[in-house]
Chain A
């Protein structure tokens, strides 16, 4: 019988991604109710040293596939290696982050294992011995609860930055199980990787996001948001209007055709609050809006709004944050 809640431990730049801890804590709670184990699955080059410490967040065991061939992420290599672990271990559930890599693997693995997958979930509960997943659809305009009654493992991808991370049990280690890393036939050849150098946090994992829209008037004005972002340790985002105008890259667009984010604090500057933008940031815990137009839609969802010219307000906001954080 399928047993154990498994979690994809995602490693980037030699560090375990935050969403992994969110997954482990959620898995731990569900596993306690179901009387099952929590196991993490980790694959990569030079990742073994990160495995045992996952015990602090609730992992009982960590299966580690270590190989030079896993240095760069490819869909085929990771699907083959993780697929073999899941086929061998027969878990009842497998959770991944709804990150670029997590959702990539979830689709491939769900089909390979002949099972169902619930994408981009924001909650996991146990009801009648089944995992029940809550997921927003229509960009958050509706919410559904789903279950995967029979097929195993039940696969789900979880939206980063939504589920809480419990205080780690310092010093608790997980049992580390080294497994063979047979990457098989890898058909994706990575010819080049171009990374944008940024000292700011990744948009989907940031605690604070400072975002600009049409009201920014041009790319030359984004530095005032960047200055604010650096004072509060935030990522910089943008609305579709700013991206479509060519002011900032598509990769920082927040909204229905961009990223979905759930930071603790979202500061929207010069953003009117079109439904397609609200879809991407409506689940932020606290929203601050700065807009000249008192009728702007963004004020209907903002916890705190400032009616005013962002070019006057944002520098003063930056100074006030600097004072309070000093």
Chain B
């Protein structure tokens, strides 16, 4: 079973966001594997452990993204591929076009990815890649079973779950609850340093800046207005509860 994992490096979810020169500042921010992609890496490793095969992690971005890929290698992935788009002006179309092109030159049975990234939260790239490659997709999986030629995924739907069967090759996106990602072992970290990291540019994939140019243009970036603290009631529950319910009706007018 050859499994590919689409992985994004993101800001740590605890990171404080600041703006510099009209853009989100990256200085002083610690970077992590997108939380949902980490579930995808873990699931790929578990499938490999039960069925055998190979796990390749793929990402786009500059050299800094190697850290996230190395971490996935330290968890147990076999190979990494990093494509540098050569620009920061990327959108979901850009990323999906690059990933799909890189993937189309590889052998695979299954592609896994997080259902969204915790930074821009778009939830688009995996779907777009499926569309470009012409392969089926199942999204928001909390359980995945793989057997010969097909995968069965238990996926979140509104108000419940559904079990979807899709033929392989296919893409499945990971939802929280799929598994508990492992921590890399010391041995894994040492081995990761020697595992292949294939770095490419757009030209190596037969792409150019025009072919991947972003369709979405960012006009402005700002920080949200801070929410002002309101009234805090301290005292006997009978008094405080009554006061808040009264305020909800008379001041806030929400009840």
In the complex, what's the smallest C-beta–C-beta distance from A314 to chain B, in angstroms? 8
Count of A-B contacts with CB under 8 A? 259
Q: Which of A110, A140, A193 contacts B162 (CB 8 A)?
A: A193
**CB-defined contacts of B208 to chain A, threshold 8 Å:** none
Q: Is the CB of A117 within 8 A of B237?
A: no
Given A116-B215, A250-B177, A302-B230, does the pair A198, B159 have CB atoms closer than 8 Å?
yes
Given A115-B215, A116-B215, A313-B237, does the pair A142, B17 have CB atoms closer than 8 Å?
yes
Q: With an 8 A cutoff between CB atoms, is B121 at the interface? A: yes
Instruction: Please report the total number of B residues contacting A with Cβ < 8 Å.
Output: 84
In Å, the complex CA distance between A107 and B158 comes to 18
Q: Is the CB of B244 within 8 A of A108?
A: no
Instruction: Please report the total number of A residues contacting B with Cβ < 8 Å.
Output: 90
Q: With an 8 A cutoff between CB atoms, is B205 at the interface? A: no
Q: Is the CB of A75 within 8 A of B232?
A: no
Q: Which of A75, A115, A137, A287 contacts B121 (CB 8 A)?
A: A137
Q: Is the CB of B231 within 8 A of A143?
A: no
CB contact list, B99-123 vs A, under 8 A: 118-123
**CB-defined contacts of B199 to chain A, threshold 8 Å:** none
Stretch of A30-38, A145-153, A165-173 at the chain-chain interface: A145-153
Q: Is the CB of A286 within 8 A of B223?
A: no
Q: Is the CB of A75 within 8 A of B137?
A: yes
Given A142-B17, A142-B24, does the pair A202, B252 have CB atoms closer than 8 Å?
no
Stretch of A45-53, A61-69, A97-105, A211-219 at the chain-chain interface: A97-105
In Å, the complex CA distance between A108 and B222 comes to 29
Binding site for B on A (CB under 8 A): 12, 73, 75-76, 79, 99-101, 103-104, 106-108, 110-112, 115-120, 132, 136-151, 187-196, 198, 202, 208, 232, 250-251, 253, 256-258, 264-265, 275-276, 282, 285-288, 294, 299-309, 312-313, 316-317, 319-321, 323-325
Binding site for A on B (CB under 8 A): 11, 13-17, 19, 24, 35-36, 91-93, 96, 118-128, 130-132, 136-140, 142, 152, 156-167, 170, 175-177, 214-224, 227, 229-235, 237-238, 240-242, 244-249, 252, 254-255
Listed by A's residue number, 18 A-B pairs whose Cβ atoms lie within 8 Å are A103-B124, A108-B131, A117-B92, A117-B216, A138-B24, A141-B17, A142-B222, A145-B219, A192-B162, A232-B255, A257-B118, A257-B176, A287-B230, A300-B227, A303-B252, A304-B230, A305-B231, A316-B238
